[in-house]
Amino acid sequence: MRRYLPLALAAAVSPFCARAAAQDVLLQARRIVVAPDAVLDDGRVLLRQGKVAYVGTEVPAEARARARRVDYGPAFVVPGFVLAQTTLGHDADLAERALPFTPDLRAAEAADPWQEDLLELPRHGVTALALAPASGNVAGGIAALVKSGRERAVVGDDLYLTLSLARNARQAERPPTSLMGAVDLLRSAFDGVRTGIGQGPDAAVLRQAMQGTRGVFVYADNFAELNAALDLGRDFGLRLVLVGAAHAEKVLPRLVQQQAAVVLGTLRPELRRAELELPARLAVAGVPFCFGGDPELLRQSAALAVQYGLDRRSALQALTRVPAALLDRDGTLGALRQGHAADFVVFTGDPLDLSSAHVATWVDGVLVAGSEPGAAPVAEPPAAAAGVR
Amino acid sequence: MSRLASVLVPFALGTALAAQTTVFTGARILPGGAPPIADGVLVVTGGRIAAVGDAATPVPDGAAIVDCRGRTITPGLIDASFRGGAAAGDLNEQGDEVTPHLRALDSLDPDDPALARARAAGVTAVHLMPGTRNVIGGLGCVVKTAGTDPAAMLVKADVSLRIVMGSEPSAENRAIRGGRVDSIYYRRPTTRMGVVWETRRAFHEAKQALELSLGATPAPPDRGREVLQRVLRGDLTAYTTARSEQDIRTALRIAAEFGYRTVIDEAQDAWVVADELLAAQVTVLLGAPSAAQVQGSAGRDGADPRYATAKLLADRGIPFVITTGTNTAALELVREAMFAARNGVAPAQAIDAVTIAPARLLGIADRTGSLAAGKDADFVVWSHDPLDPAAVAESVHIDGKPVPASR
Amino acid sequence: MTRLCPIVCLLCAALAAPLVAQDPAPVPAPETTPPPAEATEAPPTDNPQPRRRRRPVVVIEAGTVHPVAGPAIEDGVVVIRGDRIVALGRRGEVEVPPNATVRSFPTGHVYPGLVDAASDAFTDAAVRTDGSSDAADALADVLARRGDREDELARAGITTAYVAAASPALVRGQGAIVRPLREGFETWQGHERAALGLRLTGGPDSPHALQRQPQLQAAVDLFDGLDEFRKARTDHDEALQKYQKEFTEYLDWHRKKNGKDEPKKEGEGDAKTAPPAEAKPDAPKPDEAPREGGRRRRGGQPPREDGGGGAAEPASAPTVVDALLALAQDPPKQDPPKPDPAKQDPPKQDPPAADAKPAAKDEKKDEAPKRPTWPKAPPKDPAKEALLRVVDGELPLRVEAHRPDELRAALRLWDERQIPVMVLERAYGAAGMANAIAERGIGVVLTDVWPGSLPEAYEAFDPVALPARLHAAGVPVAIATGSARRADQLRLMAACAVAGGLPADAALRAITLTPAELLGIAADTGSLAVGKFGDVLVCDRPLLQSDARVLLVLAKGRPEFEAN
């Protein structure tokens, strides 16, 4: 219930939000993507109390009377994008450099609600994200759930645990300095918990990971790191999500066999072709994946993946449903089904075509970026105005 | 070329049908640890050797026949001290100088180019040990050189504990002499004495804990100490890297002092201390017998390698295995064997020193190292006798599957 | 000379090699391009001319043809004969030659081959030239080399690219226009020097405007002293002509006086020492016909000791050279050249015009005319020469300028120095001065039309919205990759520009016709039109959609990429 507290606060401080949240909204557009495999043409969505109260093509009678109509005309409406892992470029604040093993630290403590990157998120279509400890620690800590929009920030501080076998984690002037050292550190820690020697808050976090009640995100890029991560996952029964995973094509069979998921880094056009084609290969193999990293380039990453062979449906899933599921929030995020949070983004066309421009972003039934049809845009950073037609 | 193609084509079929039987006929077979067979037949079924024998060996019906006339077949070579197989730096845990419980296997990168090179040169299994930057580096393992999954490549885990004498473990350490101590390299040991001291202390504590644990109150578990105790109990062999005369003597002395079994790795100065080696009944890993000097990070250890060392060890009856080791000037393993043979080691013994001898030493002779029914089908088809300088590994087979011979 | 000859030939051959590769097997005689109109009307079967070598005809049929220059054609046909487009139109309305190879894409979309107005063609740092050297020469060597991503441009549908040397120098040399092929690149003959690059920016690392001022001023100052340079050159040209005249007179006088054979001996020694050896330096005058392979090497040749004369190369000035050749070949062994005190001219201090006077006087008295002195050439300066061509409008000036102050300096340069053709590169901060740029008719090449692609120092600039701003003001905007590694991104960047407000047809034009115009090659490529090269890109969907796949790329009618 903690997550609605900021909402209430927002309603209290902003008269605009108060109006918007109090009144029902009947959303209308040429195409509404409820979920990647359920698309409504000329559909209606009724927003009530920040949630989706109704989805369909017929307008319910009770809504007709009371709801404020918001008609985006020819635009596309898609569920708000979810970013399953990001540090918002603040790696230094999100990795405790003095110690390699800090599983009980919380990224929520480092989240600054007035951070500029956070304020920019709605413009990029991101409505929810997991702020994760950075890759500098072998065991980094616990990620926080953040919803974008101005007055709200951290709505959950107890998401997944991050581990790291990436080069970053073993380059500091402290042990471990080698992959085998990092693996051994983790293995002995998990072993300690299993045999009951390990105690204390860090052991408690590891225990939850081993019991499967807490997801484990492991930063790993190359073949050896990925293999080591998969070994750990297998030996200790972790719910494994690999982050980065630039060489994931080399461990594809193991990913499938262990039902691990992958959070890919930001795709950039200058990457190796194998890396650009990786999303398509993962989709074919049935490995759930999504994009992490830079929120500004989230949609571009998906579009690049589409250019290199990914089908549009999987690409949209990678932006919405998959990350919501990896955060164990697929009941409230990643779709516009009844009962889900009213988080959605409006584009002039298919969001996977880069020629489509961003029109508006709504979070919890409130417009947080862009414009309402026929209304002036919500005041936002001046640079953003140019990006909207 | 066309002959080569005719050799390769059936292999492609063989991989498609795992249980397919393939028979290699007409080759001279050096089975390893047994006399050569002039016109031999090698029958491979399902990744294992079904039969080895002379021309009279029955060929199963429906088997694919590969004509190997003019070729020589040996067991896949085994490199008992292999440098590579992991990203640089990943085999040396610099956080501590004594890390007996760390596993080299955890750093194994199946994609490592050194593995591909070794594979192409006829090496089918390597003994991968932690690096030489620590006094006690950790646990070694034997892996096949082809594969994508370390677990599948593994032949035997925890076969050795690497201990390093000499200058390498202290090479980059700095003594604390005031100033900011913001680096993990400000630490012991900085001298050879320090290296020996660290070794002795580690074993001393392990031994003490072992004696205590016989009493009523068991000591708190320590994974590193447990490994050392396995060495002390004789369940695990130490591989002590010692190149110079001084270091070899030290290695033997500490082993005798704590009563553990050791193998002397590298051992370039073995020709000086042959008597001691013989008396201690240790096996010697002779690193890169072709090298006129020790190159790489161990260059300043002061070892003085001689070409005749291998022959001396053979003549004195000191068991030895030829490896490529840490010397950056090392040739391919088969060439090292060739070099030993050209310097007086009997050809059969030179081949054994890179096949069955390392397999026995590492405790994997039940699976590989020689050609015998029931063993893994790890073998190499050579264009000439492997000790001929013109010999090329035409095809290399690991678990019955041909691996790309080139690259 | 005979010794040098093979070397020169080799050099020329090496330089020409990539050019020779331009017209390989299937189209052996590209010179005889028929007038397009005739070709459209008369397919080869009706052509009564017998035995004319028939060039292959490729016909592309597709659901939609986007000529860029005109409206889209539904159910269209493009007919390419040899390397040129000979017809274009709706299916049924265009006559298809019977023996043509017909490639049909019923749902496909056909575009002109893309034009990348700024690329590096994978030239790595090792070949990056300094400001003074000539990018084309360096590129010719590099482009012949093969890399593992060499078909990257062709498979992205790029059939033409402008390649400049990446250099931090103020004058960064001249860029070449290249044609990406299935394997590597070829330089476009006649466009080896397509523009002169000027780097009018300190890059993102020069934080303060005042720090940048000296560099900006230096760019304006570059054009100082050009008039003197030009004068020195024209003076030299005049002096050469004068020399030619006088030397002819000098020879004639001797010939007249001594009959046929005698003057040779006298003149021969002289001819050996100076003139044939120096005859070369007048070769690299810009307007002269190129030597073998159509390429000129800067710097000329060193003077030779064995002054055998340029026997191998018939140069363009016939009279003098013929005379010299005759002199040089006939008399064999006259080893020590006679130092003739009478003719020991004092040339060093005198300009050639001055020492011509005594010769004229001599002639009047019918005394032996004084042998004229070879006029001393003014110092070489390739940069100045290139700048002269810029000022004359022969060479576009490409100015890289990022920030508004740098851009203003570029505009000032345009104003003060009357640069006829200027193109701005990477004008990230141009949004605020779009009108000023448009007024001057300056084109803009934009790279990094991609969110988040600019360094932090340029945070204030919105690279995605910029093309729309410039386009709205009437500036010709080309979108380019800037790096061959991003070849695939070209169409994505165009799509991003659409999201930034650029109309879709303008976005398409920004990667085809507009860059071709800015590069001065719009007559040959950039759109689908009769008479242009058969540069064609076929996709399965509209080009700006993310999942559009490139199905076929033709360059000059030859397939350079084909999806399997």
For residues C163 and C219, membership in a common domain is answered with: yes
Structure tokens at A191: 């072993």
CB atoms within 10 A of CB B179: 8
Q: Does C485 contact A270 at a Cβ distance shorter than 8 Å?
A: yes
For residues C420 and C483, membership in a common domain is answered with: yes
| B308: exposed, middle or buried (Cβ count in 10 Å: 0-12, 13-18, 19+) | middle
Q: Does A227 contact B110 at a Cβ distance shorter than 8 Å?
A: yes
Model confidence at A225, pLDDT cuts 50, 70, 90, reads very high
Interface with chain B: mutation pick from A173, A178, A231, highest number of B CBs within 10 Å: A178
Determine, yes or no, domain membership for C372.
no
Q: Does A179 contact B86 at a Cβ distance shorter than 8 Å?
A: yes
Model confidence at B186, pLDDT cuts 50, 70, 90, reads low
Q: How far is A112 from chain C (nearest CA, A)?
A: 21
Q: Which domains does chain B have, with CATH numbers?
A: 2-76+370-403 (2.30.40.10), 77-362 (3.20.20.140)
Determine, yes or no, domain membership for C506.
yes
Model confidence at C131, pLDDT cuts 50, 70, 90, reads very low
Q: What type of residue sits at position C371?
A: R
8 Å CB contact between C395 and C401: no
The CATH code belonging to domain A4-79+336-386 is: 2.30.40.10
8 Å CB contact between B126 and B159: no
The number of angstroms, rounded, from the C-alpha of B316 to the middle of its chain's C-alpha atoms is 22
Distance CA B353, CA B347 (A): 10
The residues facing C64 across adjacent strands are: C74, C109
- Domain count along chain C: 2
Summarize pLDDT for A290-315 with one digit per residue, the tens.
Answer: 998 888 889 999 999 999 999 999 99
Residue of B354, B405, B356 whose CA lies nearest to B380 = B405
Distance CA C73, CA C88 (A): 9
* Pairing, β C397-400 against β C422-425: parallel
Q: How far is A307 from chain B (nearest CA, A)?
A: 28
Select the residue of A270, A296, A387 nearest C500 (Cβ to Cβ). A387
Q: What residue numbers bound the domain in which C432 lies? A: 114-224+396-525
Q: Which residue has the tokens 């006339």?
A: B69
Q: Does A355 contact C501 at a Cβ distance shorter than 8 Å?
A: no
Distance CA C195, CA C393 (A): 11
Determine, yes or no, domain membership for C178.
yes
Mean pLDDT, residues B34-38 taken together: 91
8 Å CB contact between A204 and A130: no
Distance CA B274, CA B309 (A): 9
Q: What is the DSSP letter of A106?
A: B
Residues 6+ apart with CB under 8 A from C321: C279, C310, C314, C315
For residues C132 and C236, membership in a common domain is answered with: no
CATH number for the domain spanning C471: value is: 3.20.20.140
Structure tokens at A208: 């939850």
Determine, yes or no, domain membership for C119.
yes
What mean pLDDT is reported for chain A? 84
Which residue did the predictor score with more confidence, B284 or B177? Answer: B284
CA distances from B147 to B84, B118, B153 (A): 15, 13, 6
* Pairing, β B401-403 against β C57-65: unpaired
Select the residue of A269, A358, A383 nearest C486 (Cβ to Cβ). A269
* Residue numbers in C near A358 (CB within 8 A): 499
Locate all alpha helices (DSSP H) within C333-456, ordered by sequence.
Answer: 352-365, 382-391, 404-417, 434-439
Q: Does B106 contact A197 at a Cβ distance shorter than 8 Å?
A: no
Distance CA B20, CA A387 (A): 64
8 Å CB contact between A305 and A15: no
Q: Which residue has the tokens 């578990």?
A: B221
Mean pLDDT, residues B118-147 taken together: 93
> Same topology for domains A4-79+336-386 and A81-326, yes or no?
no
Residue C315 has pLDDT above 60, yes or no: no
Determine, yes or no, domain membership for C22.
no
Residue of C516, C506, C511 whose CA lies nearest to C475 = C506
* Residues of chain A numbered 253-282 and touching chain B (CB < 8 Å): 254
Q: Report domain A81-326's class.
A: alpha beta
Locate all alpha helices (DSSP H) within chain A, ordered by sequence.
Answer: 4-13, 15-22, 61-66, 116-120, 179-195, 201-211, 223-236, 252-258, 273-285, 298-307, 312-319, 321-326, 382-386
Please tell me which of C190-194, C393-397, C513-517 the model is most confident about, judged by mean pLDDT: C513-517
Q: What is the DSSP letter of C66?
A: -
Q: Does A178 contact B91 at a Cβ distance shorter than 8 Å?
A: yes
* Pairing, β B154-164 against β B237-242: parallel
Summarize pLDDT for C23-61 with one digit per residue, the tens.
Answer: 444 434 444 444 444 434 444 444 445 555 678 899 999
Residue C138 has pLDDT above 70, yes or no: no
Q: What share of chain C is helix, strand, coil (3-state, %, to 5)?
A: 40, 20, 45
Determine, yes or no, domain membership for C52.
no
For residues C234 and C285, membership in a common domain is answered with: yes
Residue A12 has pLDDT above 50, yes or no: no
Q: How far is A226 from chain B (nearest CA, A)?
A: 10
What pLDDT was estimated at residue A55? 87
8 Å CB contact between C512 and C543: no
* Residue numbers in A near C464 (CB within 8 A): 387
Residue B49 has pLDDT above 80, yes or no: yes
Residue of C349, C330, C210 whose CA lies nearest to C262 = C330
Q: How far is B59 from chain A (nearest CA, A)?
A: 37
ipTM: 0.81
8 Å CB contact between C16 and C296: no
Determine, yes or no, domain membership for C51.
no
Q: What is the largest CA-CA distance in chain A?
A: 67
Every domain of chain A and the residues it spans = 4-79+336-386, 81-326
8 Å CB contact between C438 and C458: no
Structure tokens at C204: 């993102």
* Residue numbers in C near A297 (CB within 8 A): 451-452
Nearest residue on chain C to A348, alpha-carbon basis: C499
Residues A375-379: contacts with CB within 8 Å, 24+ apart? none
What pLDDT was estimated at residue C16? 42
Residue of B370, B371, B395 whose CA lies nearest to B382 = B395
Model confidence at A128, pLDDT cuts 50, 70, 90, reads very high
Select the residue of B92, B95, B106 nearest A183 (Cβ to Cβ). B106
Determine, yes or no, domain membership for C453.
yes
Least confident of A264-268, A285-289, C54-58, C259-263: C259-263
For residues C248 and C270, membership in a common domain is answered with: yes
What pLDDT was estimated at residue C457? 85
Q: Cβ of C5 under 8 Å from any chain A Cβ?
A: no
Q: Cβ of B130 under 8 Å from any chain A Cβ?
A: yes
8 Å CB contact between B369 and B356: yes
Question: In chain B, pLDDT over 90 holds for what percent of residues?
Answer: 61
Least confident of A159-168, A174-183, A237-246, B41-50: A174-183
What pLDDT was estimated at residue C17? 42
The number of angstroms, rounded, from the C-alpha of C411 to the middle of its chain's C-alpha atoms is 24
* Residues of chain A numbered 161-190 and touching chain B (CB < 8 Å): 173-181, 183-184, 188
Q: Does C450 contact A300 at a Cβ distance shorter than 8 Å?
A: yes
8 Å CB contact between A355 and C495: yes
Length of chain A: 389
For residues C406 and C436, membership in a common domain is answered with: yes
Q: Do chains A and C touch (3 or more CB pairs under 8 A)?
A: yes
The C-alpha angle B206, B210, B212, rounded to 5 degrees, equals: 115
Q: What is the DSSP letter of A354?
A: T
Query: What are the strands, taking DSSP E only, across C99-232?
Result: 101-112, 114-119, 158-163, 171-180, 185-187, 195-199
Q: How many CB pairs under 8 A join A and C?
A: 77
Residue of B173, B279, B195, B315 whose CA lies nearest to B244 = B195
Q: How many CB pairs under 8 A join A and B?
A: 85
Residue B375 has pLDDT above 90, yes or no: yes
What pLDDT was estimated at residue B94? 82
Q: Do chains C and B touch (3 or more CB pairs under 8 A)?
A: no
For residues C165 and C256, membership in a common domain is answered with: no
Residue C340 has pLDDT above 80, yes or no: no
Summarize pLDDT for A62-100 with one digit per residue, the tens.
Answer: 777 788 888 888 889 999 999 999 988 777 778 877 788
Distance CA A72, CA A76 (A): 8
* Residue numbers in C near A306 (CB within 8 A): 546-547
Distance CA B22, CA B45 (A): 6
**Buried b / exposed e along C335-373 (16+ C-beta atoms within 10 A):** eeeeeeeebebebeebebeebbeebeebbeeeebbbbbb
* Residue numbers in A near B173 (CB within 8 A): none
E strand or H helix that includes residue C6: helix C4-20
Q: Which of C508, C525, C542 is the last residue of a domain?
A: C525
Name the pTM for this structure: 0.75
- Taking the CA atoms of C6, C10, C11 and C13 in sequence, report the sign of the dihedral they define: positive
Q: Does B99 contact A181 at a Cβ distance shorter than 8 Å?
A: yes
* Residue numbers in B near A176 (CB within 8 A): 93, 95
Which residue did the predictor score with more confidence, B140 or A116? Answer: B140
Summarize pLDDT for B288-316 with one digit per residue, the tens.
Answer: 999 888 877 777 788 888 999 999 999 99
Select the residue of C452, C485, C489 nearest A296 (Cβ to Cβ). C452
For residues C407 and C521, membership in a common domain is answered with: yes
For residues C255 and C213, membership in a common domain is answered with: no
* Residue numbers in B near A224 (CB within 8 A): 86-87, 90, 107-111
Q: Which residue has the tokens 């890919």?
A: A264
CB atoms within 10 A of CB B185: 11
Summarize pLDDT for A317-376 with one digit per residue, the tens.
Answer: 999 999 999 999 988 999 999 889 999 999 999 999 999 999 999 998 888 888 888 654
Model confidence at A58, pLDDT cuts 50, 70, 90, reads confident
Which residue did the predictor score with more confidence, C183 or A79? Answer: A79
Distance CA C507, CA C479 (A): 8
Select the residue of C451, C486, C495 nearest A297 (Cβ to Cβ). C451
Q: Does B93 contact A197 at a Cβ distance shorter than 8 Å?
A: no
Nearest residue on chain A to C550, alpha-carbon basis: A307
For residues C249 and C213, membership in a common domain is answered with: no
Mean pLDDT, residues A259-288 taken together: 91
Locate all alpha helices (DSSP H) within B82-156, ordered by sequence.
Answer: 113-120, 150-153
Q: Cβ of C266 under 8 Å from any chain A Cβ?
A: no
Summarize pLDDT for C212-251 with one digit per residue, the tens.
Answer: 787 788 888 888 888 888 888 888 889 999 999 988 888 8
